[in-house]
Amino acid sequence: MGKITVDMDMLNSLPAALRRRVYAFVGLGLVTAASFTVAVNAQQPTTAAQPPAPAQQPPAQPPAGNAQQNPPAQQQPATAQQPANGQQPANPNDQQDQYTIRTQVNEVIQIFTVTDKHGHFIPNLSQRDFALLDDGRAPERVTSFRQQINLPLRVGLVIDASTSIRTRFQFEQQSATEFLMQTVKPSSDRAFVMDFAEVPHISQDWTNNLDSLETGINRLKPAGGTALYDSVYVACRDKLLDTARGQEPVRKALVLISDGEDNQSRVHEEEAIKMCQRADTIIYAISTNWTPSRSKGDEVLKRMTEATGGQAFWPPSVEEMSNSFRDIQQSLRSQYALTYVPADFKANGAFRPIYLYCTDRRYQVLARKGYFAPRTQ
């Protein structure tokens, strides 16, 4: 499914059982791109005084330039570095050598939701009900398609705590607490709570403990201006960017409660959206603008949610917020997952737009508008 570069002499020198484990490990890659290290136990000599046989040492590294070509290797723990001039590792209890296998897996996972014009989830659709373009071209091949209703969730609850929402803040806290209590499954899900005024602030870091999440919401206090873009940017960069790397697919989302107005941020709206796209994170937004007409902030929320594959809600009153939270909960648990290999893929770090639609035009697809290709190390 991807391009794998490995030192076959090294791999063939391993016992057959270990070779099978390595092949099985490599076959698990389901992310856009991955580079990982597999550590295997080296056989130790039966006599302590006997010098190690050459076959027991890892293959020699290139004498120069290897560290220059791959600087992150210098940041690995000392046990991952090879001894110089044939010396043994300083730690006599270190009985592991590391063999490095680099794999470029050019598969893309597109997780999306399908709704009707009333926002109700549409189940039981098949692959033939959809058409997809990646960077303007049809995929080279589709490797899997499935309805995915129980993906583990990684949810950030981001609440506007500026002074402009002081009068309705307590009700927002109650609705947000109810949402997390009903949505987060401690056995598989995790969430964090962030509030923002002039600056973003983590009130409760990643946890599956519902009591801790509730405490994090209750300790929020409204004060100051509004740094919306900074908060979205920081939440995606610091909390969601690497959450699912090397693991099973998860559904990553920010639930944003705000009027969409920003008067304090240092980053721009486009930068916040791009960071969400890099982190494969969707945004759901609940507007706190209760006036009959749409504001500039409402348009901001609409752009941010549409670009990331989420949805914006405009409840007519603060009492209706709980209905919006229920719609978000249903959407998070009602998705399709499409895995495919893009045509003419280049690992150059460029943004690749995605156009995914349902052939039945009565239905709307909520999906991210693109992704950033990994950059070759």
pLDDT digits (tens, 9 = 90+) for 163-201: 766 667 888 888 899 999 999 999 999 999 999 988 999
| Beta partners for residue 339, in sequence order | 109, 144
**Cβ within 8 Å of residue 298, ≥6 positions away:** 259, 260, 287, 289, 312, 314
Question: What's the burial of 199, exposed, middle or buried (CB within 10 Å: 0-12/13-18/19+)?
Answer: middle
Q: Of 294, 307, 297, 222, whose CA–CA distance to 263 is shortest?
A: 297
**Cβ within 8 Å of residue 50, ≥6 positions away:** none
Please report the pLDDT score of residue 291 as a whole number: 76
Judge contact between 340 and 141, C-beta under 8 A.
yes
Q: How far is CA 178 from the centre of its chain?
A: 24
Low-confidence ranges of the chain (pLDDT < 50): 1-7, 11, 21-104, 246
Judge contact between 103 and 34, C-beta under 8 A.
yes
Largest CA distance in the chain: 85
CA–CA separation, 178 vs 12, rounded Å? Answer: 56
Q: Of 355, 315, 372, 349, whose CA–CA distance to 133 is shortest?
A: 355
Please report the pLDDT score of residue 162 as a whole number: 82
Average pLDDT for the chain: 76
Counting every residue, how long is the chain?
377
Please report the pLDDT score of residue 122 as a whole number: 92
Instruction: Measure the CA angle with vertex 36, ends 141 and 343; round to 5°.
Output: 20
pTM listed for this prediction: 0.68
Please report the pLDDT score of residue 19 as a whole number: 52
The two structure tokens encoding residue 41: 């136990």
Judge contact between 335 and 110, C-beta under 8 A.
no
b/e per residue 53-66 (b: at least 16 CB within 10 A): eeeeeeeeeeeeee
**Cβ within 8 Å of residue 264, ≥6 positions away:** 197, 198, 199, 224, 225, 226, 227, 230
pLDDT digits (tens, 9 = 90+) for 261-318: 998 899 999 999 999 999 999 999 999 887 777 789 999 999 999 999 999 999 988 7
Residue where the block lists tokens 């495919």: 340
State the amino acid at position 79 in one-letter form.
Answer: T
